[in-house]
Structures are given as structure tokens and as C-alpha cells.
A and B are shown apart, each in its own frame.
Chain A
Amino acid sequence: KQEVTQIPAALSVPEGENLVLNCSFTDSAIYNLQWFRQDPGKGLTSLLLIQSSQREQTSGRLNASLDKSSGRSTLYIAASQPGDSATYLCAGKAYSSASKIIFGSGTRLSIRP
């Protein structure tokens, strides 16, 4: 059964720093992995989706990587800004249960001006 873990639960860094958010999953037979952003009182916004055949995806200052052998994904945020403050969630879809995506509990990110 796929389990997804995100550590740390919360992170606070000064503006301008590059940072990495971590996501680990137990089922290496992963079909894809998606990173979301959640703002308070809002729904989830899809940031990046990495297919199992891909190693990484990039969008602007965001770069997500996928290493199936180690069961890890990272979200790299370059030159962080206060507007990046939000909760970041990763979610994996496994071949064995493709009808759903399994979410991690998220990392609450705070960027200090």
C-alpha cells in the first residue's frame, strides 16, 4: 500500500534562499507524482506532475525531481519570495491503485521578508 511522507512538517527561511522540500513514498512502482500548493482557505493548485518515465520537471523557479529507486521526490524552489509561503503537498499515484492519488501531510513553508 502506497504511503507518502513529507518532512519537515514546517519550514521557515529568509527571503531569497533556495530551498528543498522532501517527499518520500513506499511503493517504487509509482505511476506519477504531483506537487500541489495550498493557500489558507483555498483549494489545491497543481504545480508540477512528474511521470514515472521522467526524472524531473521545471516550471519557472520550481523544479521537481523523482527518484523511484530511492522512493523520493524533491521540490526545489529557487530565490524564495514571501509569496511562496503556503503548504506544499506531494501526492503519488501507484500502478496498483491508479484510481486515486495518495497525499502526504504537507510541509508548511514560511518565507520571512
Chain B
Amino acid sequence: EAQVTQNPRYLITVTGKKLTVTCSQNMNHEYMSWYRQDPGLGLRQIYYSMNVEVTDKGDVPEGYKVSRKEKRNFPLILESPSPNQTSLYFCASSLIGGLSNQPQHFGDGTRLSIL
């Protein structure tokens, strides 16, 4: 089944403890992206990747890192999480990015609580 898989689905942790949210897609998509969803603010893009080894900042990249060493994986890293990073996070992918009409496919989300 074609899908975007995120892990963990839920995580409660403490300020400053490094964490990684994994994202994997099995559709051979070139484009991948991370969003956070907050009440009243909608979904905002954190980072995106047009292809392997190509990543770039979205609208709210502060406090996050990403890597794209393989086509299928796009982990989101919080080196020193803070309470303002408590949010619902989504990973998405599409066949290609940029000026393309390929729809984006989303994972089921990861709910992070930073205490």
C-alpha cells in the first residue's frame, strides 16, 4: 500500500532532550516536506526536500533540522526541544516538487508535547 509513515505517533518529552521524528514513503517520491499544525495558524511548512541531499527552509525552520540521505526517508530532528515546539507534525511527499500538479500525500501525524 502506498503510504507515508511517521513515527512516533505520540511523544511526550522534556525540554532539551534531543528527539527525531522519522518519515518514510514507499512511493519513490522525489519531494518531501514537513509541516506543523497549530490551532488558529493552520499548517506551516518547516523544511522541504526536492530530492536526495537537497533540502531547504520553509516558513518556520527555527529549532529544527532535517536530512535527506535516502530518497524514502526524511527525518525531522529537534536538537534541543522547547515548549513552543509542542504541536502536531505532518510529513508529506509528492512525485516531484516545484511547478508540478502532483498531489501531496500526508502521513497520519505526530503529536509532540514538550514539557
Is A73's beta carbon under 8 Å from chain B?
no
- CB-CB under 8 A from B74, the residues of chain A are none
Bound together, the chains give a CA A98 to CA B106 distance in angstroms of 18
Bound together, the chains give a CA A106 to CA B44 distance in angstroms of 13
Bound together, the chains give a CA A46 to CA B45 distance in angstroms of 17
Q: Number of residues in B with C-beta < 8 Å to the partner?
A: 27
For the complex formed, measure the closest distance between the CB of A9 and the CB atoms of chain B, giving whole angstroms: 9
| Interface size range on A against B | 20 to 34
Is B79's beta carbon under 8 Å from chain A?
no
A interface, CB within 8 angstroms of B: 31-32, 34, 36, 41-46, 49, 51, 89, 91, 95, 98-101, 103-106
20 A-B pairs besides A43-B4, A89-B42 with CB distance below 8 A are A32-B101, A41-B109, A43-B90, A43-B107, A43-B109, A44-B90, A46-B103, A49-B101, A89-B43, A95-B99, A99-B48, A99-B50, A99-B56, A99-B97, A100-B33, A100-B48, A100-B58, A100-B59, A103-B43, A104-B42
